[in-house]
Amino acid sequence: MPTTLTIAGRARTFTVVGDADGPEDRPLVLVFHGSRQSGEIHRRFTGGSLDRLAADGRAVIAYLDGYRGNWNDARAESSFPARKAQVDDVGFARAVVDSVVRTHRIDPHAVVGAGYSNGGQMVFRLLHDAPELLAGAVVVAATMPDRDGFLGDFSESAERPVPVTLVAGTADRIVPYTGGRMAWWARRLFRVGGVALSAPDTARYFARRNGITTAPTVTLLPVHSSARTAPRMEETAYRETGRPPVTLYTVVDGGHTVPGTTPSPAILGRTGADRGLAEMVSDVIAVLSRSS
């Protein structure tokens, strides 16, 4: 059942997956859905893949519900409902963490933000506007706005460097892999504009914020045994001793989709499967465990 909180006079809801009596100090994964979704719709959209982390006690998952299907992210040229109403989604995220600390005994210093599309843009906002909140991030089908189009502090260094994983499809028709402006129909449909960085430039941006100066390594991932016809995935890994890693997974010929063995609707393009969302979140959690 969804939990309701009142934030700045608005009723907001979220759903927690995980045993309240499970192990103490588990990580918490905050899941931010895409435009025109809800937490439950996104949960089905991803085949409930993150629920497996809750089932085996590795994490607690919280699916948050946006305001009228959207998040008030940090893109300057936006006119969707959450922006027009100036919804406090940063405050909502903080309140969810506080609530789950009380009910599920999670570690408030091990919170991972996982966002898709508009939800990914919300994670970008949290990394900049609430650096104390997230210890790691996984962002799918979203790239950073450029300096002029970002309402947050577009910066070359981070107050709290954290591991960041990015996923982008080279054939994404909504969020161009090469950056720039969204297609006119996407700007009209989603009520958002502005210029975005390319996926590789977004990865370089977060690598600089983490203080990584070494060149990345690029690896073609092994083909997933259950999805041999899926598009291939390439890993660009920024690694440096003592620095949180930054990873870009490029889905070659992939669309506006979430990697995994559950394909997204065909209208959104092809879905990569060589490494799924749950595995990516697990990797970030493993980094947090090694650094604690």
**What string of DSSP letters covers 171-219?**
T-SSS-TT-EEPPHHHHHHHTB--EE--HHHHHHHHHHHTT--SPPEEE
> What local confidence, expressed as pLDDT, does residue 9 receive?
93
Strand-by-strand arrangement of the 136-140 sheet: 3-7, 10-17, 60-64, 26-32, 106-116, 136-140, 164-169, 243-251, 233-240, 217-220
pLDDT tens series, the chain, 292 aa: 899 999 999 999 999 999 999 989 999 999 999 999 999 999 999 999 999 999 999 999 999 999 999 999 999 999 999 999 999 999 999 999 999 999 999 999 999 999 999 999 999 999 999 999 999 999 999 999 999 999 988 988 888 999 999 999 999 999 999 999 999 999 999 999 999 999 999 999 999 999 999 999 999 999 876 666 789 999 999 999 999 999 999 999 999 999 998 888 999 999 999 999 999 999 999 999 887 6
> What local confidence, expressed as pLDDT, does residue 217 receive?
98
> What local confidence, expressed as pLDDT, does residue 85 receive?
95
pTM above 0.85, yes or no: yes
Half-sphere exposure of 18 (CA within 13 A, CB side): 29
> Which tokens hold the place of 228?
């041999």
| Residue 100 phi, psi (nearest 5) | -75, -25
Contact 254, 269 (CB under 8 A): yes
Contact 218, 248 (CB under 8 A): no
> Which tokens hold the place of 2?
């969804």
* Amino acid found at 181: R
CA distance 162 to 83: 27
